[in-house]
Structure 1
Amino acid sequence: MHHDADIPDISAFGAHGGSVLAFQRAFPEAPLPWYDLSTGVNPFHYPLHDLPEEALCALPEAESLARLRQAAAKAYGCDASLIVAAPGTQAIIGLLPYLLRPPCVYMETPTYTGHEESWRGAGIACTARADLLTSSIEPGCASILCRPNNPDGRRSTLNELQEYAARIEQRRGTLIIDASFADFETTPFATLLENPAVVMLRSFGKAYGLAGLRLGFALGRHPVLSRLATALGPWPIHGLALHIGITALEDAAWRLKMADKLKIHAEKLREMMARVGFSFVGGTPLFSLFSHPRAGHFWRCCAAQGVATRRFRNRPEWLRLGTPGDAAMFDRLETALAAAAS
Structure 2
Amino acid sequence: MTMDPESIRTGERVPHGGDPDQSLLDFSANTNPRTPDGVESVYAEALEASRRYPDDSYADFRDAAAAFVGCEPAQIIPTPGGLAAIRLAMELALEPGDDALVPAPSFGEYAREVHLQGATPQYIDADSLLEVETSLLESCALAVVCTPNNPTGAAAEPDALAAFAARCGDAETTLLVDEAFLGYTDLPSAAQLEHDHVIVARSLTKLFGLPGLRAGFAVARGDRRDDLEIARRAWSLGTPAARLGAYCLRQNAFVRETRERVTSERARVREALETECGFDVHPSEAPYLLCDVGERSVTEILASARDTGVVVRDATTFRGLESHIRVAIKDREANDQLLAALETAMDVSGGTSNSSGGAD
After TM superposition, the score normalised by the length of structure 1 is 0.86
Aligned counterpart, 1:123: 118
Aligned counterpart, 1:3: none
Aligned counterpart, 1:109: 104
The partner residue of 2:302 within 296, 299, 304 is 299
Check if 1:321 corresponds to 2:315.
no
CA distance in 2, matches of 1:15, 1:160: 31
Distance apart, 1:277 and its partner CA: 0.7
CA distance in 2, matches of 1:340, 1:187: 36
Distance apart, 1:267 and its partner CA: 2.4
Distance apart, 1:247 and its partner CA: 1.0
TM alignment of 1:267-278, pairs within 5 A? 267-274=267-274, 275-278=276-279
SS in 1 for 2:54: coil
Distance apart, 1:215 and its partner CA: 0.6
- Give the residue type in structure 2 aligned to 1:289: L
Distance apart, 1:265 and its partner CA: 2.3
CA distance in 2, matches of 1:68, 1:192: 18
- CA gap of 1:242–1:143, structure 2 versus 1, over 3 A, is same
Distance apart, 1:214 and its partner CA: 0.2
Kindly indicate whether the alpha-carbon contact (under 8 Å) linking 1:84 and 1:219 is maintained by their aligned counterparts in 2: yes
TM alignment of 1:38-187, pairs within 5 A? 38-47=28-37, 48-50=39-41, 51-52=44-45, 53-62=47-56, 65-102=58-95, 103-130=98-125, 131-135=128-132, 136-138=136-138, 141-187=141-187
The partner residue of 1:36 within 15, 26, 35 is 26
- Give the residue type in structure 2 aligned to 1:339: T
SS in 1 for 2:31: coil
Kindly indicate whether the alpha-carbon contact (under 8 Å) linking 1:39 and 1:310 is maintained by their aligned counterparts in 2: yes
Kindly indicate whether the alpha-carbon contact (under 8 Å) linking 1:193 and 1:221 is maintained by their aligned counterparts in 2: no
Aligned counterpart, 2:335: 330
Deviations along 1:84-130, one digit per CA (max 9) or x if unpaired, are 01001111222333222252111121111111111112210110011
The total of aligned residue pairs comes to: 318
Distance apart, 1:142 and its partner CA: 0.8
Kindly indicate whether the alpha-carbon contact (under 8 Å) linking 2:153 and 2:286 is maintained by their aligned counterparts in 1: no
Aligned counterpart, 2:354: none
CA distance in 2, matches of 1:14, 1:334: 28
Greater mean alpha carbon deviation, residues 171-180 or residues 128-137 = 128-137
**% identity of equivalent residues:** 26
Kindly indicate whether the alpha-carbon contact (under 8 Å) linking 2:88 and 2:232 is maintained by their aligned counterparts in 1: no
CA distance in 2, matches of 1:188, 1:158: 7
Distance apart, 1:333 and its partner CA: 2.1
TM alignment of 1:278-297, pairs within 5 A? 278-293=279-294, 294=296, 296=298, 297=300
Aligned counterpart, 1:7: none
SS in 1 for 2:185: coil
Distance apart, 1:305 and its partner CA: 1.5
- Give the residue type in structure 1 aligned to 2:40: H
After TM superposition, the score normalised by the length of structure 2 is 0.82
Kindly indicate whether the alpha-carbon contact (under 8 Å) linking 2:99 and 2:139 is maintained by their aligned counterparts in 1: no
- CA gap of 1:152–1:318, structure 2 versus 1, over 3 A, is same
- Give the residue type in structure 1 aligned to 2:68: A
Distance apart, 1:14 and its partner CA: 6.4
- Give the residue type in structure 2 aligned to 1:282: P
- Give the residue type in structure 2 aligned to 1:74: A
CA distance in 2, matches of 1:165, 1:330: 37
Aligned counterpart, 2:356: none
Distance apart, 1:139 and its partner CA: 5.0
CA distance in 1, matches of 2:25, 2:310: 5
SS in 1 for 2:193: helix
Deviations along 1:145-186, one digit per CA (max 9) or x if unpaired, are 101111101223211111111111111110111111100222
Greater mean alpha carbon deviation, residues 101-110 or residues 177-186 = 101-110
SS in 2 for 1:320: strand
CA distance in 2, matches of 1:232, 1:197: 18
- CA gap of 1:295–1:78, structure 2 versus 1, over 3 A, is farther
CA distance in 1, matches of 2:82, 2:178: 9
- Give the residue type in structure 2 aligned to 1:111: S
Greater mean alpha carbon deviation, residues 179-188 or residues 96-105 = 96-105
Q: Which runs of 4+ in 1 moved over 3 A?
A: none
CA distance in 1, matches of 2:40, 2:155: 36
Kindly indicate whether the alpha-carbon contact (under 8 Å) linking 1:193 and 1:220 is maintained by their aligned counterparts in 2: no
- Give the residue type in structure 1 aligned to 2:261: K
Unaligned runs of 5+ in 1: 1-12, 25-31
CA distance in 1, matches of 2:234, 2:211: 22
